[in-house]
């Protein structure tokens, strides 16, 4: 056995855990189904708020070799069709012509906050926008939103369950999109 890195993913319902480490470590986890059951139950109980796994470091709980991915869901009662005199998301999206996920995130959060007047915008709202305009959703939407915040400042992700559009994001969506407008 070598010490090369290896990774496996285990899915149970909507919960996905990844085990990553040396080949020897991952192989040992695979040979012992009880350890996988134990690991899965720890992740599920943590998700349900019944405890933590791993060690605390800098105020954050860390679990060595385990990463949990959480999926997004469509917000069924989110009206993006433009009722009540509001512009439909599809029309707004076509007007702005965003060309990257960072731009799309800014356009979607702007639309949800300023046009649809959603009080608390979260990742599920943004996910619903991607689906509504028939765009590919970023593989890790949360990280994409954080990148939009960190690299561009167009979205405030300090509270992921209450995304905001700061002035720099408003200015970008209102004045810099579509990009082809400047070249005319």
Read off the pLDDT of each residue in 42-58 and give the average, rounded to a whole number: 53
Q: Is residue 75 part of a domain?
A: no
How far apart, in whole angstroms, are the C-alpha atoms of residue 155 and residue 121?
11
Note whether 88 and 176 are same-domain residues: yes
Of residues 57 and 114, more confidence is placed in: 114
Strands (E) located in 70-134: none
In this prediction, residue 43 carries a pLDDT of: 63
Per-residue tokens: 39: 């690991």
Read off the pLDDT of each residue in 2-21 and give the average, rounded to a whole number: 69
Domain of 29 in residue numbering reads as 5-69
Q: Which of 91, 129, 133 minimizes the C-alpha distance to 145? A: 129
End-of-domain residue from the set 69, 104, 119 = 69
Q: Is residue 172 part of a domain?
A: yes
Q: What is the CATH number of the domain that holds 168?
A: 1.10.10.10
Least confident span in 69-78, 94-103, 129-138, 155-164: 69-78
Report pLDDT digits (tens) over 147-168: 999 999 999 999 999 999 999 9
In this prediction, residue 84 carries a pLDDT of: 87
Q: Is residue 23 part of a domain?
A: yes
- The structure's pTM equals 0.63
Q: φ and ψ at 128, to 5 degrees?
A: -60, -35
Of residues 30 and 123, more confidence is placed in: 123
- The rounded percent of the chain whose pLDDT value lies above 90 is 57
Reported as a pLDDT band with limits 50, 70 and 90, residue 37 is low
Count structural domains, the chain.
2
Note whether 126 and 41 are same-domain residues: no
How far apart, in whole angstroms, are the C-alpha atoms of residue 130 and residue 139?
12
Reported as a pLDDT band with limits 50, 70 and 90, residue 28 is confident
In this prediction, residue 12 carries a pLDDT of: 65
Note whether 35 and 92 are same-domain residues: no
Contacts of 113 (CB under 8 A, 6+ apart): 121, 163, 164, 165
Note whether 95 and 47 are same-domain residues: no
In this prediction, residue 51 carries a pLDDT of: 45
Q: Which of 70, 94, 144, 84 minimizes the C-alpha distance to 117? A: 84
In this prediction, residue 45 carries a pLDDT of: 62
In this prediction, residue 65 carries a pLDDT of: 46
Q: Is residue 175 part of a domain?
A: yes
Does pLDDT of 101 surpass 90? yes
Reported as a pLDDT band with limits 50, 70 and 90, residue 31 is confident
Does pLDDT of 98 surpass 70? yes
């Amino acid at each position: 056995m070598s010490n090369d890195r290896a990774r496996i993913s285990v899915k149970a319902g909507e919960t996905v855990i990844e085990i990553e480490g040396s080949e020897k470590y991952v192989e040992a986890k695979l040979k012992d189904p009880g350890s996988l059951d134990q690991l899965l139950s720890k992740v599920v109980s943590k998700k349900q708020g019944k405890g933590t796994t791993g060690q605390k470091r800098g105020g954050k709980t860390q679990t060595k070799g385990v990463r949990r991915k959480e999926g997004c869901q469509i917000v069924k009662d989110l009206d993006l069709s433009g009722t009540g005199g509001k512009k439909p998301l599809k029309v707004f999206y076509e007007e702005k012509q965003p060309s990257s996920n960072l731009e799309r995130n800014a356009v979607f959060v702007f639309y949800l906050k300023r046009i649809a007047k959603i009080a608390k915008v979260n990742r599920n709202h943004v996910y619903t926008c991607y689906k509504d305009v028939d765009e590919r959703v970023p593989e890790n939407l949360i990280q994409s939103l954080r990148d939009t915040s960190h690299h561009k400042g167009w979205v405030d992700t300090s509270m992921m369950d209450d995304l905001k559009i700061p002035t720099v994001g408003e200015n970008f969506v209102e004045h810099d999109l579509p990009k082809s407008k400047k070249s005319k």
